[in-house]
């Protein structure tokens, strides 16, 4: 029996208002301002820092080398650590996250911010 438009069922759409979606939108905003943003980098944070710094120096030797990333191993808990290149990036990350309804607070050491999984 041929299928017509009225007999088709539409598959459910995936949720679009998730934490990761909001974080990726914040990262896209940061990229527009020249801050390298990486999601779920597949290594330990110090190795990722070294790799991103080297890549940015090679691509733009006179650039600021600003970056933010979320390490893939940082998935547990109610807050997600974001690793940054410094205080100037911390302010930009907090603003971009706020635009997406995410709450950011300082982390346990310089270069780390904590983003709440729940939107404010």
Tell me the per-residue pLDDT of 50-105, one tens digit each, with 9 for 90 and over.
Answer: 999 999 999 999 989 999 999 765 555 678 999 999 998 999 999 999 999 999 99
pLDDT confidence band for 8 (50 / 70 / 90): low
In a domain, 14, yes or no: no
In a domain, 8, yes or no: no
Specify the number of domains making up the chain. Answer: 1
Angle at which helix 19-32 crosses helix 87-99, to 10 degrees, equals 130
In a domain, 5, yes or no: no
Domain that holds residue 89: 19-116
Supply the pTM of this predicted model.
Answer: 0.78
In a domain, 4, yes or no: no
In a domain, 63, yes or no: yes
């Amino acid at each position: 029996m041929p299928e017509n438009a009225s007999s088709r069922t539409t598959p459910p759409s995936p949720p679009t208002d998730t934490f990761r979606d909001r974080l990726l939108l914040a990262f896209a905003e940061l990229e527009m301002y020249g801050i390298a943003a990486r999601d779920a980098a597949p290594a330990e944070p110090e190795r990722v820092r070294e790799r991103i710094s080297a890549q940015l120096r090679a691509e733009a030797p006179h650039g600021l080398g600003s970056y933010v990333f979320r390490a893939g191993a940082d998935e547990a808990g109610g807050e997600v650590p974001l690793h940054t290149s410094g205080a100037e990036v911390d302010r930009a990350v907090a603003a971009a996250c706020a635009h997406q309804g995410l709450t950011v607070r300082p982390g346990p050491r310089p270069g780390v911010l904590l983003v709440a999984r729940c939107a404010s």
